[in-house]
């Protein structure tokens, strides 16, 4: 084997290992969302996360990949390529196309699954499947083309190394619009509009999910090098990713301890994710010190972002997905314009002036506008046609029983007879 083939083999294996790590993040999302919501909806949430990956895998291969990475058409969209059979030499890949395809597929599925938690416990399953199809087929690939597929933002110099905007902001904006459109859960807000806590049923599952996600992020960010031989870049990204997550976790703990008189567990778990989201855009360009600063600030952003969504906007987000992914996806993308210490354009704090910061801001606005407009149309159309929200009876009973006919915790709790468009069946709740 000559040196070129050896390098290609190493790069390919590294990309596929990173792909497996990012795929495992689906389990992390499932555990976080299940743990931070009620037991009567656990099976429904698991099904939605599974379907995000299944639907995303198929439709991204059939349609989405071509739209995202096909030959550029006016800087706006890639050349559609059904079943990914075309020529992608313009990408200049150093790995097989199919390795790149599966790596990008798991990223697409990650963006889609962010919405699941924000709309949890009251969304029709069939409507969620339709959403998952549309975001994976069109919404995510078009915005992704602008940044990663050679589109107009990439030509301007917009930098989003591993997806603070492409993955997390798109998912976060979609989550915001989805939760706003569907409305709050029954009992979330009192008559005077004061938010009421609806505790999740298993904080242990939530914590396990965060550890899985953190573990997967070591494929998400370093894997975006697509090069197992670029050991310096991989090592640097491992460090910056980890430092930002750690700093954000500690700061979130301290803020909640001061504000709530107790260190809040669920908010601290979200703080970990916030730091990881925020550093994702610039993990390759920022210094370790810069990563710590980003983490510190993202810990502040997530606490006040979640509170703002809950108390000021009165949008019910059961797991804090909007504060984690939308707020910190935007914040982390801006941080590239401040803390980029290397690359073609330096950040403001490293003598680069406002150029990169302005480009980053433009990209944030463009992607937000695209995602908001398309998801408003999508969710409003669903609401008036197939329906978006389950009935009050179904919501109170729980979506495990009413949508799937199962009880996720059948051996726990008192027995009761449930009748739902069928003969009575004896199930545990």
Q: What is the pLDDT of residue 427?
A: 44
Tally Cβ neighbours within 10 Å of residue 136. 26
- The burial class, CB within 10 Å (0-12 / 13-18 / 19+), for 58 is middle
Q: Looking at residues 98-113, what average pLDDT do you find? A: 98
Contact 45, 34 (CB under 8 A): yes
| Mean of per-residue pLDDT scores for the chain | 95
- Reduced to 3 states (helix: H, G, I; strand: E, B; else coil), residue 121 is coil
Tell me how far apart the alpha carbons of residues 293 and 275 are, in angstroms, rounded to a whole number: 10
pLDDT over threshold 60, residue 374: yes
Q: What is the pLDDT of residues 387-410, one digit of tens each?
A: 999 999 999 999 999 999 999 998
Tell me how far apart the alpha carbons of residues 169 and 140 are, in angstroms, rounded to a whole number: 10
Q: Which residues pair with 138 in a beta bridge?
A: none
Q: Looking at residues 356-384, what average pLDDT do you find? A: 98
Tell me how far apart the alpha carbons of residues 67 and 134 are, in angstroms, rounded to a whole number: 13
The residue whose two tokens read 């709790």 is 413
Residues 6+ apart with CB under 8 A from 415: 426, 427, 428, 429
DSSP 8-state assignment for residue 90:
G
Tell me how far apart the alpha carbons of residues 280 and 266 are, in angstroms, rounded to a whole number: 22
pLDDT over threshold 60, residue 416: no
Q: What is the pLDDT of residue 410?
A: 84
- The burial class, CB within 10 Å (0-12 / 13-18 / 19+), for 192 is exposed
Q: What is the pLDDT of residue 373?
A: 99
Q: Looking at residues 116-122, what average pLDDT do you find? A: 97
Q: At what angle do helices 288-307 and 328-339 cross, to 10 degrees?
A: 150
Q: What is the pLDDT of residue 156?
A: 97
What per-residue string of b and e applies to 343-352 under the rule 16 or more CB within 10 Å gives b? bebbbbebeb
Contact 19, 219 (CB under 8 A): yes
Q: What is the pLDDT of residue 219?
A: 98
Q: What is the pLDDT of residue 413?
A: 55
Contact 75, 151 (CB under 8 A): yes
* pLDDT range class, residue 157, cuts 50, 70, 90: very high
- Domains in the chain: ranges and CATH: 3-384 (1.10.3430.10), 392-428 (no CATH)
Tell me how far apart the alpha carbons of residues 309 and 115 are, in angstroms, rounded to a whole number: 15
Contact 135, 111 (CB under 8 A): yes
* pLDDT range class, residue 414, cuts 50, 70, 90: low
- The burial class, CB within 10 Å (0-12 / 13-18 / 19+), for 77 is buried
User: CA-CA distances (angstroms) from residue 93 to 12, 90, 98, 180, 378?
Assistant: 10, 8, 11, 40, 34
The residue whose two tokens read 């078009």 is 142
Q: What is the pLDDT of residue 425?
A: 46
Q: Looking at residues 349-369, what average pLDDT do you find? A: 97
Q: What is the pLDDT of residue 117?
A: 96
Q: What is the pTM of this model?
A: 0.94
Q: What is the pLDDT of residues 13-37, one digit of tens each?
A: 999 999 999 999 999 999 999 999 9
Contact 321, 118 (CB under 8 A): yes
What per-residue string of b and e applies to 309-328 under the rule 16 or more CB within 10 Å gives b? bbeeeebbbbbbbbbbbbbb
Residues 6+ apart with CB under 8 A from 422: none
Q: What is the pLDDT of residue 411?
A: 78
Q: What is the pLDDT of residues 167-198, one digit of tens each?
A: 999 999 999 999 999 999 999 999 999 999 99
Q: Looking at residues 354-365, what average pLDDT do you find? A: 98
- The percent of residues above 90 in pLDDT, for the chain, comes to 94
* pLDDT range class, residue 428, cuts 50, 70, 90: very low
pLDDT over threshold 70, residue 429: no
pLDDT over threshold 80, residue 424: no
pLDDT over threshold 90, residue 418: no
Residue 356 corresponds to which tokens in the numbers above?
A: 């990169």
Q: What is the pLDDT of residues 245-254, one digit of tens each?
A: 999 999 999 9
The residue whose two tokens read 């009050």 is 392
pLDDT over threshold 70, residue 128: yes
Tell me how far apart the alpha carbons of residues 52 and 47 are, in angstroms, rounded to a whole number: 9
* pLDDT range class, residue 412, cuts 50, 70, 90: confident
Q: What is the pLDDT of residue 179?
A: 98
Q: What is the pLDDT of residue 207?
A: 98
- Output the CA angle 121-123-124, nearest 5 degrees: 130
* pLDDT range class, residue 421, cuts 50, 70, 90: low
């Amino acid at each position: 084997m000559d040196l070129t083939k050896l390098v290609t083999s190493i790069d390919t294996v590294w990309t596929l290992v990173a792909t497996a790590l990012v795929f495992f993040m689906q389990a992390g999302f499932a555990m976080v969302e299940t743990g931070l919501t009620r037991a009567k909806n656990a099976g429904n949430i698991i099904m939605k996360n599974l379907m995000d990956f299944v639907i995303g895998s198929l439709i991204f291969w059939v349609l989405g990949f071509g739209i995202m990475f096909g030959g550029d058409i006016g800087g706006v969209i890639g050349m559609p390529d059904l079943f990914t059979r075309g020529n992608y030499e313009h990408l200049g890949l150093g790995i097989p196309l199919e390795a790149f395809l599966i790596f990008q597929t798991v990223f697409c599925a990650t963006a889609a699954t962010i919405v699941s938690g924000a709309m949890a416990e009251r969304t029709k399953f069939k409507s969620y499947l339709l959403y998952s199809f549309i975001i994976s087929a069109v919404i995510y690939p078009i915005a992704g083309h602008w940044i990663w597929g050679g589109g107009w933002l990439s030509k301007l110099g917009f930098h989003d190394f591993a997806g603070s905007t492409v993955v997390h902001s798109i998912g976060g904006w979609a989550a915001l619009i989805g939760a706003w459109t569907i409305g709050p859960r029954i009992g979330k807000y009192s008559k005077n509009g004061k938010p009421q806590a609806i505790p999740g049923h298993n904080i242990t599952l939530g914590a396990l999910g965060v550890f899985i996600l953190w573990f997967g992020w070591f494929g998400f960010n370093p894997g975006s090098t697509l090069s197992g031989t670029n050991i310096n870049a991989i090592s640097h990204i491992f460090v910056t990713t980890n430092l930002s997550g750690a700093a954000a976790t500690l700061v979130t703990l301290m803020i909640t301890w001061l504000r709530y008189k107790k260190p809040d567990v669920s908010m601290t778990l979200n703080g970990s994710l916030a730091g990881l989201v925020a550093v994702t855009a610039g993990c390759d360009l920022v210094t370790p010190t810069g990563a710590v600063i980003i983490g510190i600030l993202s810990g502040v952003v997530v606490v006040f972002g979640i509170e703002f969504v809950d108390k000021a906007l009165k949008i019910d987000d059961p797991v804090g997905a909007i504060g984690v992914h939308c707020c910190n996806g935007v914040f982390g993308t801006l941080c590239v314009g401040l803390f980029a210490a290397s690359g073609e354009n330096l950040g403001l704090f490293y003598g680069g002036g406002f150029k990169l910061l302005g480009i980053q801001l433009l990209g944030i606005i463009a992607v937000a506008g695209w995602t908001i407009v398309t998801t408003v149309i999508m969710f409003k159309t669903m609401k008036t046609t197939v329906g978006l929200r389950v009935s009050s009876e179904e919501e109170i009973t729980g979506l495990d029983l009413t949508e799937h006919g199962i009880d996720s915790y059948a051996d726990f709790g008192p027995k009761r007879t449930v009748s739902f468009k069928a003969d009575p069946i004896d199930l545990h709740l």
